């Protein structure tokens, strides 16, 4: 998912110092044991994910030694390992980090290790593309949409299908408030999670990350501020993580919650009927939401044979015939269109999520690469300043653009 602000700052200051020559594996022939690092400590030995890794290692003729870390720990350890020449042969890493690791010389481009990411959706691949080169393959994606409480909307006389743009969403929230219910909850915390949740409204207004002070950007932040001012959203959103925001929705008191695919199992346990709709763009359609999810990549090694074999393992892990079970275990929408259709056939409620992923954008897309964290931090700061009333949305975003432009 997100929650990567400290990681981004560390990558910028430390990661760019890593040279390609610093990464290595034992010289000579490709090792018999390959190290795979991933950010899924929740999956133990015997899980579908681990069985898939081991099967792909067997297919490549090597034994897999898998290590799982929390996302923040994983990124830190990869940078240190790259500096020490002990990088894993295969790395599964959060998609916004890919371009930074690539620029730091930690990863091999697909063209050098026999990887082909063309089966994955181009909008997802974009997160791993830098200066015309693609690094790794997306294993799957998650993104954001609006969960709704059917009982709350029914009591307010709101048809969720009527929510097609910002105006109709505002009208629905007004009806919910008039019926004595609570409107919408989300995460606007001053971290990457806050930026992640703001981006669908920012992009849905037509704004671009290269111009934080634009009129469309101001309209998006004004929308959020108006929800607090009108009592459509609680002041708690200023400190909400995506987890605490979900906990508010799970009380059954709110009409809507902006949250992700990863909450599907929790939604089923909530004790009330729910549904999901896409986040609407300002004037209609589905707003582009940021993609969450990981890429499977090949770190630089001294041994070219090891890199080639690592590429074979990555190809296996992301191949359509294996990735369905893996994405199901990870609660991901597949990056491959044909597999997405299989997911919807098996579980029709995933259609809204597949549609959302197909409309999603990578945060480091548009060749932003390592510039993204320098933009994201001022943006979440602007959101905080506006929602707390410290600045107007216009002034907050103007200052954010100045800070992003001057960041080194």
- Give residue-wise pLDDT tens across range 316-328: 999 888 888 778 8
Q: Mark whether 161 and 126 lie in a shared domain.
A: no
| Distance separating alpha carbons of residues 43 and 327, to the nearest angstrom | 13
| CATH number, domain with residue 97 | 3.40.190.10
Mean pLDDT of 116-144: 93
Asked whether residue 98 is domain-assigned, the answer is yes
Asked whether residue 250 is domain-assigned, the answer is yes
Radius of gyration, CA atoms only, the chain: 21
Q: Mark whether 162 and 297 lie in a shared domain.
A: no
Position 73 scores a pLDDT of: 80
Q: Mark whether 395 and 257 lie in a shared domain.
A: yes
State percent of the chain over pLDDT 70: 92
Does the pLDDT value for residue 22 go beyond 50?
no
Asked whether residue 246 is domain-assigned, the answer is yes
What is the number of structural domains in the chain?
2
Q: Mark whether 155 and 262 lie in a shared domain.
A: yes
Q: Mark whether 87 and 205 lie in a shared domain.
A: no
| Distance separating alpha carbons of residues 144 and 114, to the nearest angstrom | 32
Q: Mark whether 161 and 36 lie in a shared domain.
A: no
Please list, residue by residue across 249-258, b when 16 or more beta carbons sit within 10 angstroms of its beta carbon and e when fewer do: bbeeebbbbb
| Distance separating alpha carbons of residues 212 and 179, to the nearest angstrom | 36
Q: Which residue has the higher pLDDT, 1 or 48?
A: 48
Q: Mark whether 128 and 149 lie in a shared domain.
A: no
Does the pLDDT value for residue 345 go beyond 70?
yes
Q: Which residue has the higher pLDDT, 24 or 106?
A: 106
Asked whether residue 186 is domain-assigned, the answer is yes
Per-residue confidence band for 394, with pLDDT thresholds at 50, 70 and 90: very high
Q: Mark whether 130 and 233 lie in a shared domain.
A: no
- Residue in 137, 181, 150, 172 with CA at minimum distance from that of residue 323: 137
Asked whether residue 173 is domain-assigned, the answer is yes
Q: Mark whether 149 and 136 lie in a shared domain.
A: no
Q: Give the residue numbers spanning the domain of 95.
A: 5-141+293-358
Q: Mark whether 110 and 188 lie in a shared domain.
A: no
- Collapsing DSSP to helix, strand or coil, 90 comes out as strand
Q: In this structure, how many other beta carbons lie within 10 angstroms of the beta carbon of residue 164?
A: 16
Asked whether residue 335 is domain-assigned, the answer is yes
Q: Mark whether 133 and 185 lie in a shared domain.
A: no
Burial of residue 25, with CB atoms counted within 10 A of its CB: 0-12 exposed, 13-18 middle, 19 or more buried: buried
- Collapsing DSSP to helix, strand or coil, 13 comes out as helix
Q: Mark whether 83 and 191 lie in a shared domain.
A: no
Does the pLDDT value for residue 102 go beyond 60?
yes
Does the pLDDT value for residue 399 go beyond 80?
yes
Does the pLDDT value for residue 342 go beyond 60?
yes
Asked whether residue 363 is domain-assigned, the answer is no
């Amino acid at each position: 998912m997100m929650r990567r602000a400290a990681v981004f700052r560390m990558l910028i200051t430390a990661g760019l110092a890593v040279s390609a020559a610093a990464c290595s594996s034992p010289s000579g022939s490709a090792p018999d044991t390959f190290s795979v690092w991933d950010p899924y400590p929740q999956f133990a030995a015997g899980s579908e994910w681990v069985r898939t890794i081991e099967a792909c290692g067997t297919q490549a003729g090597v034994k897999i030694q898998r290590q799982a870390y929390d996302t923040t720990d994983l990124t830190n350890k990869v940078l240190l390992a790259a500096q020490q020449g002990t990088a894993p042969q295969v790395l599964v890493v959060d998609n916004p980090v890919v371009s930074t690791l690539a620029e730091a010389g930690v990863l091999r481009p697909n063209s050098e290790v026999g990887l082909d990411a063309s089966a994955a959706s181009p909008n997802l691949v974009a997160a791993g593309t830098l200066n015309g080169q693609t690094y790794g393959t997306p294993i799957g994606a998650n993104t954001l949409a609006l969960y709704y409480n059917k009982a709350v909307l029914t009591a307010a006389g709101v048809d969720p299908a009527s929510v097609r743009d910002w105006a109709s969403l505002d009208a629905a929230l007004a009806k919910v408030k008039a019926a004595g219910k609570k409107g919408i909850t989300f995460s606007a915390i001053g971290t990457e999670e806050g930026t992640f949740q703001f981006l669908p409204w920012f992009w849905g207004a037509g704004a671009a990350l290269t111009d934080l002070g634009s009129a469309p950007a101001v309209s998006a932040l004004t929308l959020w501020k108006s929800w607090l001012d009108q009592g459509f959203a609680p002041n708690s959103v200023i400190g909400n993580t995506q987890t605490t925001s979900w906990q508010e929705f799970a009380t059954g008191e709110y009409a809507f919650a902006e949250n992700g695919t990863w909450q599907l199992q929790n939604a089923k346990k909530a004790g009330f009927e729910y549904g999901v709709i896409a986040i609407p763009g300002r004037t209609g359609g589905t707003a582009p939401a940021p993609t969450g999810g990981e890429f499977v990549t090949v770190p630089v090694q001294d041994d070219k044979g090891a890199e080639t074999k690592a590429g074979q393992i990555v190809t296996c892990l992301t191949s359509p015939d294996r990735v369905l079970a893996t994405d199901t275990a990870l609660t991901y929408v597949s990056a491959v269109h044909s597999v997405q259709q299989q997911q919807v056939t098996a579980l029709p409620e995933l259609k809204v999520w597949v549609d959302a992923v197909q409309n999603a954008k990578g945060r480091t897309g548009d060749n932003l690469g390592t510039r993204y964290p320098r933009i994201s931090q001022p943006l979440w700061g602007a959101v905080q300043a506006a929602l707390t009333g410290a600045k107007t949305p216009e002034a907050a975003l103007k200052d954010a653009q100045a800070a992003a432009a001057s960041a080194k």
